[in-house]
Chain A
Amino acid sequence: MLSICKKELHQFFSNLTGYIAIILFLLVNGLFLFVLKDSNLFDFGYATLDKFFELAPWILIFLVPALTMRSLSEETRSGTFEILRTKPLSCWQIVSGKYLSVAVVLLFVIVPTFVYIFTIKSLSATGNIDSGGIAGSYLGLFLLAAVFAAISLCCSGFTSNAVVAFLISTFACLLLYFGFNAVSKLPVFQGSTDYYIEMLGIDFHYRSVSRGLLDSRDLIYFLSLIFLFLFITEKKLQNR
């Protein structure tokens, strides 16, 4: 598993893929949080990173599928998956190795944004920031990115075309992140099952963790989703 992870990490950082992911994430966040007028942190008036934690999932919805779209689809297209299967590795080890490498890249993507904490701290009147809340929000963001990575890896396993994998996984991430929330807002469900439908979506649990409250329910929800999508991927590879 670790050898697959190392190989994938080497692939990410031997060309521009990994670096571009980090730069793009920082650039888009930086533009929205410090340059563009409507979403500017300076006009917000409060020393919190709430705006960043609202914005980041939308960037990750596109960034994570772009990172993982080639993971399995390219192996199928180029025929290297058959070579990989001849190695003494189970399908689960291949999937978890690839998943672990994407998770590490995502960690590298998120960690540079810690700079924003110091920015916000220097902007604060009393030098106070809700550091605990921010720590919880960062954990939520990483869990969200990890779920997106599992979904995208799963979608990548279903096709040999990287672009199709990107489109399917973006749609799937969007659907799971925002779909249930949108459906729960329909007048049919208002006042009855809307809360339970909303609970099925990632957005509900992410918002809960982003408030700085780490609830065991949210943690288990995220871990369950990751396991489910990795399991589906493994099954798909096994049946190939």
Chain B
Amino acid sequence: MIKKLFNSKAALPVIIVLLIAINWLAAVFHSRIDFTNEKDLRYPAPPNLC
């Protein structure tokens, strides 16, 4: 049935609607992984040459 749907002329609009629906569902039920962590990222002070 899926193969038939994919080969039909209406496949593209159906796929677009399906993708919009998936994205909408993803927006409702979402989770995130936080990779960041707070660290001191400054460069060292330049040496005083005078």
Q: Which residues of A contact B (CB under 8 A)?
A: 45-48, 123-126, 128-130, 132-133, 135-136, 211-217, 220-221, 224, 227-228, 231-232, 235, 238
Residues A124 and B43 in contact in the complex (CB < 8 Å), given A216-B26, A228-B15: yes
Judging by beta carbons under 8 Å apart, are A47 and B12 in contact?
no
Residues of A within 8 A of B44 (CB): 125
Partner of B27, one of A47, A217, A231, A232: A217
Measured in the bound complex, the distance between the Cα atoms of B26 and A28 in whole Å is 37
Judging by beta carbons under 8 Å apart, are A45 and B12 in contact?
no
Question: Can you offer 13 A-B residue contacts whose CB atoms are under 8 A?
Answer: A46-B41, A47-B43, A124-B43, A125-B42, A128-B40, A130-B39, A132-B37, A133-B37, A136-B35, A217-B27, A217-B30, A231-B15, A232-B12
Judging by beta carbons under 8 Å apart, are A123 and B43 in contact?
yes
Judging by beta carbons under 8 Å apart, are B41 and A220 in contact?
no
Judging by beta carbons under 8 Å apart, are B36 and A211 in contact?
yes
Judging by beta carbons under 8 Å apart, are A214 and B40 in contact?
no
Partner of A213, one of B35, B42, B43: B35
Query: B7, B33, B35, B36: which has the most chain A beta carbons within 10 Å?
Result: B35
Q: Is B50 an interface residue (CB 8 A)?
A: no
Residues of A within 8 A of B43 (CB): 45-47, 123-125
Judging by beta carbons under 8 Å apart, are B39 and A128 in contact?
yes
Judging by beta carbons under 8 Å apart, are B32 and A220 in contact?
no
Q: Quick one: closest A residue to B19, CB to CB?
A: A224
Measured in the bound complex, the distance between the Cα atoms of B49 and A144 in whole Å is 45
Q: Quick one: closest B residue to A228, CB to CB?
A: B19
Judging by beta carbons under 8 Å apart, are A126 and B40 in contact?
yes
Q: Is B16 an interface residue (CB 8 A)?
A: yes
Judging by beta carbons under 8 Å apart, are A231 and B36 in contact?
no
Residues of A within 8 A of B11 (CB): 231, 235
The 4 closest A-B pairs by CB, nearest first: A132-B35, A212-B36, A136-B35, A128-B39
